Amino acid sequence: MLDKPASALRIRERLIESERLMEGTGCYDGITELSLRNQDPLKFETLHTKLRAYCVSAREMARRISASPGVREVGEMVVAIYTPEGDAIALSNGIMVHVHTMSRFIKWMIRNGYEENPQINDGDIFANNDAFIGTVQVPDVMDVMPIFHSGKLVGWAGAVCHELEAGGITPGGDVALAQERFTEGLFVCAEKVGQNDELRRDYVIRCERNLRMPIYWVLDEKAKVASCIDMRESVKALIDEIGLDYWMQVSKEFIEEGRRAQLARARQLTVPGIYRGHTFYGHVTAGKPGYQPLGDPDWLYNMPIEMQITSDGKIIMDFEGTQPWGYHSMNCTPAGMDGGMFVTLTQTMNFEGFVNDGAWMATELKLPKGTWTNPDSEMAATATSWALLLPAYGVFQRLLARSLVARGFVEEAFVGQVNSPMIEMGGTSQYGTLFGMAHFECAAAGSGAIAIKDGLDTAYVGWNPESDMGNIEIWEQNMPMLYIGRSIVPNSGGAGKYRGGCAFLSTWLVSKTDHLRLVTSEHSSRVFDNGGLCGGYPAPTCQKHRAVRDTNIFELAEKGAPLAHHTGTNPYRSELEVRLEGKHVTVEGPYITAPHKTGDVFTHSYNGGGGYGDVLERDPVKTAWDVENGFLTREAAQGIFGIVLDEDEEGFPVANLDATKRHRVEMRAQRLARARPVSEWVAKERERVKAADFAPEVKKMYASAIKLSARFTRDFSAFWDVDAKSTFGVE
């Protein structure tokens, strides 16, 4: 129990007081004046830089302890320093989404009387991966340790790693098949897992007995504890230097400064008003093995977002009108939604100055109860919540982009992130041992375009601003599959004056195993879950999985015959079909099938980003370069962008500028000839709406949104001039 001067209830009381002060003054913890900053701004800035350096250094050290290629190679880790009440003061780089989710975890323990039982003592280690307490999904396991100085709780050090194996119904971390909490894997619910700076042996045994690949989780735990101890000792030494009273005041001023900086940034970069956008997600599971009949197998999710930027710079995001939570793994808790908001802000607006919980305090999320954003049952599974989170926050980025275009900061107007479908795997490794792993090369998708240039190719993902696909050799050490190809997917960026960044595709030969389970998630193949902006098109939907079982690849290799290294550019007949004999399979949506074995070939394609601007304005010279380098096909260059390409003496594409000009004039004329007035289309479409002449999943989507949202019902009825409820048979 806390000794002097804090009493048993002091932290909880302090938390309540802090919130009351914020409500009363509008400023964090009632800090209406940044007095220490005003007294000595240089000292103030220097201290924050030191705290940030502690975090960055602790994370880098911890990554060397981890055995997980996710943490070591791709950097799936973040650490942060918190106030005693659990508000982030400073953080490292990495998966910053978790800075605020850890804040929720600390506050949850404080609110739930942890000071009394199980008590909060110096050297304690608390762990959590329960999204309803404070994380995003089951593989995001966080550890926090209190920081005591002079017998007083003066802060917390926290660390999160994304685990590559969580012990769920399907292997890996993102447990695609989980339909309820009880199949998601090993839960650690705000548990004291260590004392005196050491993990409890019984906790480690529990991990070892319940995970397919415990070495990842257990060594990550040690890495996190090491980073927390490192940060704790640094903070204690700093307090020795600056004094405890100064620390207690300055740590709060950092957060209030962060809050003010976010508001100021919004006023500097955006335009006040109401912004709207939407995206969709198609979840297709009919006929796939393992799904329990708890609900309809196929779902179409609509994700409408209304964003308000108020006159004081506050950003309010409202998800009203979206779909209910369901018996699948893609639900999200408010903690996850907070995390998505936080990580997006750190990339889009908080790219300088103090990045901490203050930024989050300058925003507000409206998450309707009962929807996937805020399930009213804590039994809902959230193991693959990024499936819906990423598309939703991609909309947020596009809404912000519109405001940046309006304000003139075109270099920051970013069409945004996309889903990056993951592969999880398990079974028998190439070493003959039990294994399980998430493959994290998905952390290098294509980004959306920027209002002045193409998006990043194979170099961006929303959840980790330091995207990295990892080295092929490292992945091959950890799984019974060998790369026979990793290549750019042509046209995988959305078309536009500036195209979205392209994605890549991997092709593997299953090797040295007779039992490899492959499972994928975040895989919306039936609808676009991303979008373009200002005339740019969405990137293609998730591509279907293509695999070949029992191939003749070893015979081909022996003969020195060509192998298939990618799927090619013919959507009706892949390179696999051209080159390989065997049982060819094409799977839409999550890949959940019987185990693979040596000699099978499997491909997985990641996603590109949305485009920006009218395709007929794309630079022909740049396009020729894109065709030469495999980012665009010739038929896309001519058919979509209206760019006529000739060939030089060596056969490389060269833009024919005059022919392009003429072709584009024709295309524009064709466009006008094909188009009809929107009013005419609305009048005709209204008849279809009145008859509810839609696919069953589309009708169900409307009925669900209407049941949950009076505003959606009102807006739908007003737009089409129909009674939405009776149209879709809603009582």
Interactions with another protein, residue window 686-725 (CB under 8 A):
688-689, 694-695, 697-698, 701-702, 715-716, 719-720
CA distances (Å), 467 to each of 282, 442, 612, in order?
26, 9, 22
The DSSP-derived string for 305-333 is: EEEEE-TT--EEEE-TT-PBP-SSS----
Query: Which C-beta is closer to another protein: that of 167 or that of 416?
Result: 416
Nearest in space to 481 (alpha carbons), one of 521, 511, 513: 511
Lookup: tokens for 329: 């793994």
Q: State in angstroms the smallest separation of the CB of 604 from another protein.
A: 13
Q: Using the rule CB under 8 A, is 631 a contact of another protein?
A: no
Query: Which C-beta is closer to another protein: that of 192 or that of 283?
Result: 283
Taking contact as CB under 8 A, which single stretch among the options 210-218, 225-233, 420-428, 611-619 is the one that binds another protein?
611-619
Using CB atoms within 10 Å of the CB of residue 120, give its burial: 0 to 12 exposed, 13 to 18 middle, 19+ buried: buried
Using CB atoms within 10 Å of the CB of residue 729, give its burial: 0 to 12 exposed, 13 to 18 middle, 19+ buried: exposed
Q: State in angstroms the smallest separation of the CB of 365 from another protein.
A: 20
Q: State in angstroms the smallest separation of the CB of 207 from another protein.
A: 39
Nearest in space to 350 (alpha carbons), one of 252, 342, 50: 342
Using CB atoms within 10 Å of the CB of residue 718, give its burial: 0 to 12 exposed, 13 to 18 middle, 19+ buried: exposed
Within 509-568, the residues that bind another protein by CB under 8 A are: 525-528, 531-538, 540-544
198 forms beta bridges with 195
Q: State in angstroms the smallest separation of the CB of 669 from another protein.
A: 7
The 167-206 site mask, x for binding another protein (CB under 8 A), equals ----------------------------------------
Options 48, 402, 439, 499; binder of another protein; rule CB under 8 A: 402
Query: Which C-beta is closer to another protein: that of 483 or that of 720?
Result: 720
Q: State in angstroms the smallest separation of the CB of 633 from another protein.
A: 5
With vertex at residue 194, the alpha carbon angle to CA 17 and CA 161, rounded to the nearest 5 degrees, is 80
Within 76-135, the residues that bind another protein by CB under 8 A are: none
Query: Which C-beta is closer to another protein: that of 168 or that of 613?
Result: 613
Q: State in angstroms the smallest separation of the CB of 409 from another protein.
A: 6
Q: In what order do the strands lie in the sheet with 198-199?
A: 88-91, 77-82, 152-162, 140-149, 125-128, 191-195, 198-199
Q: State in angstroms the smallest separation of the CB of 384 from another protein.
A: 20
Cβ atoms of 211 and 142 closer than 8 Å = no
Angstrom distance (rounded) from CA 544 to CA 425: 18
Q: What is the DSSP letter of 538?
A: P
Q: State in angstroms the smallest separation of the CB of 727 from another protein.
A: 9
SS3 571: coil
Angstrom distance (rounded) from CA 569 to CA 704: 38
Lookup: tokens for 310: 């108020």
Query: Which C-beta is closer to another protein: that of 333 or that of 543?
Result: 543
Within 32-61, the residues that bind another protein by CB under 8 A are: none
The 239-278 site mask, x for binding another protein (CB under 8 A), equals ----------------------------xxx-xxxxxxxx
Q: State in angstroms the smallest separation of the CB of 595 from another protein.
A: 25
CA distances (Å), 26 to each of 45, 229, 339, in order?
23, 34, 22
Angstrom distance (rounded) from CA 103 to CA 134: 8
In 339-369, which positions are buried (b, 16+ CB within 10 angstroms) versus exposed (e)?
A: bbbbbbbbbbbbeebbbbbbbbbbbebebbe
Query: Which C-beta is closer to another protein: that of 88 or that of 534?
Result: 534
Angstrom distance (rounded) from CA 21 to CA 99: 22
Using CB atoms within 10 Å of the CB of residue 706, give its burial: 0 to 12 exposed, 13 to 18 middle, 19+ buried: buried
Query: Which C-beta is closer to another protein: that of 474 or that of 695?
Result: 695
Query: Which C-beta is closer to another protein: that of 15 or that of 415?
Result: 415
Options 411, 647, 648, 687; binder of another protein; rule CB under 8 A: 411
In the block, which residue shows the tokens 């000699």? 599
SS3 460: strand
Lookup: tokens for 499: 């195209």
Q: Using the rule CB under 8 A, is 636 a contact of another protein?
A: yes
The 561-600 site mask, x for binding another protein (CB under 8 A), equals --------xxx-----------------------------
In the block, which residue shows the tokens 């289309």? 681
Taking contact as CB under 8 A, which single stretch among the options 22-30, 59-67, 434-442, 664-672 is the one that binds another protein?
664-672
Query: Which C-beta is closer to another protein: that of 4 or that of 674?
Result: 674
Query: Which C-beta is closer to another protein: that of 369 or that of 661?
Result: 661
Q: Using the rule CB under 8 A, is 407 a contact of another protein?
A: yes
Q: Using the rule CB under 8 A, is 467 a contact of another protein?
A: no
Query: Which C-beta is closer to another protein: that of 113 or that of 696?
Result: 696
Handedness of CA 192, 171, 65, 85 (dihedral sign): negative
Taking contact as CB under 8 A, which single stretch among the options 108-116, 286-294, 635-643, 655-663 is the one that binds another protein?
635-643
Query: Which C-beta is closer to another protein: that of 470 or that of 540?
Result: 540
Within 414-433, the residues that bind another protein by CB under 8 A are: none
Q: State in angstroms the smallest separation of the CB of 157 from another protein.
A: 30
Query: Which C-beta is closer to another protein: that of 137 or that of 660?
Result: 660
Query: Which C-beta is closer to another protein: that of 187 or that of 537?
Result: 537
What H or E segment, with its residue span, contains residue 204? helix 201-210
CA distances (Å), 581 to each of 476, 481, 514, 558, in order?
24, 19, 19, 15
Within 442-461, the residues that bind another protein by CB under 8 A are: 451-453
Within 486-505, the residues that bind another protein by CB under 8 A are: 490-492, 495, 497-498
Strand boundaries in 452-565, DSSP class E = 481-488, 504-510, 516-521, 545-549
Q: State in angstroms the smallest separation of the CB of 198 from another protein.
A: 43
Q: State in angstroms the smallest separation of the CB of 627 from another protein.
A: 12
Lookup: tokens for 503: 């994605």
Q: Total binding residues for another protein by CB under 8 A?
A: 91
With vertex at residue 483, the alpha carbon angle to CA 479 and CA 486, rounded to the nearest 5 degrees, is 125
Options 405, 556, 659, 703; binder of another protein; rule CB under 8 A: 405
128 forms beta bridges with 142
Within 340-379, the residues that bind another protein by CB under 8 A are: 352
SS3 321: coil
Query: Which C-beta is closer to another protein: that of 28 or that of 414?
Result: 414
Beta-carbon contacts of 555 under 8 Å, excluding residues fewer than 6 positions away, are none
Within 278-317, the residues that bind another protein by CB under 8 A are: 278-280, 282, 300, 302, 311
